[in-house]
Amino acid sequence: MKQMLLLVALVATMLPLWSQTEQKPRRQRMDWFESVKSPEVKANGDVTFRLFAPQAKEVTVNGQWGPAAPMEWDDDEQVWKATVHPTVADIYPYNFVVDGQAVNDPANKDLFPNELFKGSLLLMPNPEMLYTERDIPHGKVHYCTYYSSVLKELRTMLVYTPADYDLKARLRYPVLYLVSGTTDTEETWYKAGRTNFILDNLIHDGQAEKMIVVMPYGNMNTGNPRPSSSAATECYEIFSQEMEQCVMPYVETNFRTQADRRYRAIAGFSRGGGEALYTAFKLSDRFSAVCAYAAYLTDEVYAERFGHLVNNPEKMNSLFHLIWFGVGSDDFLHDPVKQNEALFTQKGIRHEAFDTTGGHTWMNARKYLGITAKKLFKK
C-alpha cells in the first residue's frame, strides 16, 4: 500500500504538465524518468546525449563544439542517442532539434539562460579552465530587485561578492560592471559565464584583486531589436542612463563599494560590450577602465558623441588605465572590432588588443573575463 501510494505520488508529481496530452503508456515514461542520463561525460572526453522522443522522426544534437550530430534511436535504451568528442573540454550551450523544433535537454537541469534559445549547458570537467569549481572559499551571487525609474519597471540585477565579503564587515571593494549580450538575460554571465567561479579562483590564487561584480540586464526594452546603428546607439544611451540613475546608485547603497572612479570598471560581451564602451566614455568621470569582449562602437558614434575624447588622446590616456578589446578570428564582429582598434591606434589612444581563435561564443567570453579580471584595480 505504501509502495503503491508513493508510486502514484511520483508519477503524478511528474506528469501534471503534460499528462493531458500523454500518448505513450505511463510505464514507458517511468522508465524514461528512471534511466535517462544526459549528457554523460566520460573520462576520455566522450560525451553521450540521450533523448526520449519515441514519436520523433529525426533528431540532432547541436552545440558549439562542432557541427550538429545526428542522433540515432537505440532500441535497447529506448532513447535517441549520439556521442561526440569536443576537442577542448569546456562549457558548451547545446540543444536538440526534434523534427525541426529546437528543445533543451529534459534530463539536464543546467539551462542556458536566454530570451530566445532554449538551450542546455554541457559542463565538462577541466582543471585547466578557470570556471572549475574547487573546494576553496566561494563568493556569493545576489539576485537584487530594484525599480528602474528610467524603464518604469521592476528589474533584477545579479551581484557577485567575494568569499570574504561577509566576514570583513568594514572592507570596501572595487566594482566591475559586467553586461551581457543580445538575447542574453541578467543570469547569463552567472550561469553560462560562471563569473563567480572564475573570480573565486583568480582571487584565491592571488591573480585578481578582490572585487564586486555587478551583472545588470542589458536589454533596454527598446522594442523589437531590428538592427540599425541608430537603434543600437539609442539602446546604448538608455543603458547609460539606467546605469547612472538606477544600477550604480543601488549598488553603492546596498554594497560596500569603493565609490571612486579608480575603482570602477565596466565590461561586456557583444551588445553588452557596446553598452560598456558607450557608458564608460559618456560617464568618463565615473569609470577608469573598460573592456569590450567581441564588441565595438562605430567611427560615427565616436565622432558624433565622443569627439571631445577621441580627438584628445592625452585626456583619454589619463582617464583610462585600461581600454581592452578581445575578439576571436572567426567572430562575425572580428572586422569592426579591429576597425575600432585601428581608430584608437591612429588617434594615439592607449589600448590593449587580445586575439584568439573561435567565434562569438561563451567559451571565448569566459576567456576574456579571466584575462581582464587579472588586469583590473591593480595597486
Query: Of residues 320-359, which lie at the interface with a copy of itself (CB under 8 A)?
Result: 332-333, 336, 359
Q: Which regions of 189-295 does DSSP assign to beta strands (E)?
A: 212-215, 264-269, 289-293
Q: Taking CB under 8 A as the criterion, which residues in 69-88 touch a copy of itself? A: none
Q: Taking CB under 8 A as the criterion, which residues in 272-331 touch a copy of itself? A: 298, 300
Residue selected from 75, 145, 206, 357 as contacting a copy of itself according to rule CB under 8 A: 145
Smallest gap from residue 285 Cβ to a copy of itself (A): 27
Residue 223 phi/psi, 5-degree rounding, is 85, -165
Residue selected from 25, 27, 206, 226 as contacting a copy of itself according to rule CB under 8 A: 226
Q: Taking CB under 8 A as the criterion, which residues in 166-225 touch a copy of itself? A: 166, 169, 181-183, 185, 190, 196, 200, 224-225
What 3-state DSSP class applies to 83?
strand
Spell out the residues 6+ positions from residue 167 whose beta carbon is closer than 8 angstroms to its own. Answer: none
If one asks whether residue 232 binds a copy of itself (CB under 8 A), the answer comes out as yes
The smaller minimum CB distance to a copy of itself, of residues 35 and 207, is found at 35
> Which conformational region is residue 307 in: left (phi greater than 0), alpha (psi within -120 to 50 degrees), or beta?
alpha
Q: Taking CB under 8 A as the criterion, which residues in 25-44 touch a copy of itself? A: 33-35
Tell me the C-alpha distance between 232 and 229, whole Å. 5
What 3-state DSSP class applies to 112?
strand
The answer to whether the CB of 267 falls within 8 A of the CB of 372 is yes
Q: How many CB atoms lie within 10 A of CB 41?
A: 15
Smallest gap from residue 297 Cβ to a copy of itself (A): 11
Q: Taking CB under 8 A as the criterion, which residues in 101-120 touch a copy of itself? A: 101-104, 106-107, 109, 111, 113-119
Residue selected from 40, 73, 83, 97 as contacting a copy of itself according to rule CB under 8 A: 97
Residue selected from 73, 126, 146, 315 as contacting a copy of itself according to rule CB under 8 A: 146
The size of the chain, in residues, is: 379
If one asks whether residue 257 binds a copy of itself (CB under 8 A), the answer comes out as no
Size of the site for a copy of itself (CB under 8 A): 93
If one asks whether residue 148 binds a copy of itself (CB under 8 A), the answer comes out as no
Smallest gap from residue 228 Cβ to a copy of itself (A): 5
C-alpha cell at 339: 576597425
Tell me the C-alpha distance between 166 and 263, whole Å. 20
DSSP 2-40: HHHHHHHHHHHHH-TTTGGG--S-HHHHHHHHHH---SE
